[in-house]
Structure formats: structure tokens, C-alpha cells
Amino acid sequence: MADRQLDGRIALVTGSTRGLGRVIAEDLVARGARVVVHGRTRKAADDVAREVGASLAVAEDLAQGPDAAAVLVAAVENALGSIDLLVNNAADQAPTPLVDSGSEAWRGIVDVTLLAAVELTRLVCRAGAGASSVVNVASVEAFAPFPGHAAYAAAKAGMVSFTAAAALEYAPVRVNAVAPGLIDRAGLADQWPDGLAWWCATSALGRPVSAREVAAAVAFLLSPDASGITGVTLPVDGGWTSSARVTWGHRDG
């Protein structure tokens, strides 16, 4: 059973209608937080909020720029009060070879993956807002991009640097990040058999991580147990970043 260190804390998790974000939202609910589920559509947000027991569902397209972030924060504050905990999980990814990716495609990915997190953090950490902790969801691709993921990897690398800068400038609010590796999911072995085999061969634990393992790391960084930790990016990747020996698409020679 999850601990209850986050009892009553208002936690906004962006991009939480599916995948890792949904698991993070569910985990924080189990730890006693009053979770806000966020998605691009009202129906998706409402459905997930009901299923995981969240306190509020909000729908806002963060690709629309800083005004969308302001509307999102205002909606939460008007309904529940000041946001205590923020998880910047929303991201956009459209794999495209770098030679074929134009500025508009980059802008769309960076707007959602990085700039929305910057604006939401600024709003939640402003004077008098009451936030105590922010966790940004980066990626191991911030350190080792995969082919076709240039914009996504660059945005995640920006998230790592932003995390360190925000920790300095927004203290005593703690700002940290997690960098998930390959996350296991249904059908992964069928959808990416060569990639899964490569990952298992190059990571220390020899397997992908689970979404729940990442969510547990997020909860730890949000909690009082991490009261002395700020400005760090914690890889949750089964040791891949410390043990990978090859780059995807190449073999040991």
C-alpha cells in the first residue's frame, strides 16, 4: 500500500489521460494527493479522472502557447486552490528524420514538451502561489537521442537544463526531473522486437522499466522524503545510461 505523505496536497499532472501520465496520476491519488488530470479533450480527462479517483479533470491544448498554460492553472486554482505539486509530463513526439523535419514540426514538439513546462512552472512557482515541489518528466533521449527523434530529444535536453536553472531561481520550491528509459507496455515485444532486444542487452537490469517504477520515483521527488534534493535529473532506466555500449542501429565491432 502506498504511503500517505501527500495527503491533501493538490497535484497537477499534465498529459495524464494515458500512458505514463495516467499511471503517475493514479499513483499520486493512492498516496493521498488531490490530483488534477489534464488532457487535450474534456471526455478523455473526465473519463480518466473518474477511473483513477482524481479530484478534478481539466482540458487544455498546451500547444496553443502560454495563454493555454495560464488558463489551465487558473481553472485548477478556481476549483481547488493553489497548486502544491506540479508534474510536467505532457509531451509531443512525431518521429521524423532530421533532414525531413522543418521548423513548424520542431515548434509544435518544443511548445508542448518544453515551453509549456516552463510557463506552468513559472505560474505555479510565482510569489504567493504556494507550490512546494515540481517534477519534470525528461527522458534518457536528453543524453542519447534515437534516430528520427531530434526535436523530441532536444526538447527533453532543454528540460534537463531548465530543471537545474529553475531549482536555483525558484528556491525554496524544489524542482527536479526524472529521465525514464524504455517503458514496458502491452505489445512492445511485437511492435519493436529488435529495439527491445537491444535495450535488454545494453541496460544493467536487462529489461525495460515499468511505468509504476517511474511513477514511484516521481512521487519520491515530490514527497518530504526528498526535502534535501533539488535541481537533479534522476534516470529511471534500469541502468541504461550508465551501461549502454552501442548506439541504436550499430553493433559492437
Distances (CA, A) of 101 to 95, 115, 145, 157, 224: 9, 19, 15, 18, 42
Interval 42-65 mean pLDDT: 96
Among candidate residues 106, 152, 199, 240, the one labeled active-site is 152
Contacts of 210 (CB under 8 A, 6+ apart): 183, 184
Contact of 24 with 87, CB cutoff 8 Å: yes
Size of the chain, expressed as the number of residues it contains: 253
b/e code 219-237 from CB counts within 10 Å (16+ = b): bbbbbeebeeebebbbbbb
Q: Does domain 10-186+209-242 have CATH number 3.40.50.720?
A: yes
pLDDT reading at 27 higher than 60: yes
DSSP-based three-state secondary structure for 150? helix
CA torsion, points 183, 66, 234, 151, in degrees to nearest 10? 60
- pLDDT at position 223, please? 97
Domain boundaries, given as residue ranges, for the chain: 10-186+209-242
Distance CA(253)–CA(240), nearest Å, equals 20
Check if 170 is active-site.
Answer: no
What string of DSSP letters covers 37-106? EEESSHHHHHHHHHHHT-SEEEE--GGG-HHHHHHHHHHHHHHH-S--EEEE---------GGG--HHHH
The radius of gyration of the chain's CA atoms, rounded to the nearest angstrom, is 18
Q: Which pLDDT belongs to residue 102?
A: 75
What pLDDT does 208 receive? Answer: 97
What integer is the mean pLDDT of 25-29? 98
Q: What is the pLDDT of residues 113-146, one digit of tens each?
A: 999 999 999 999 987 677 899 999 999 999 988 8
pLDDT grade for 242, boundaries at 50, 70 and 90: confident
From residue 160, alpha-carbon distances to 48, 66, 81, 93, 134 in Å are: 28, 20, 29, 17, 13
pLDDT over 70 for what percent of the chain?
A: 94
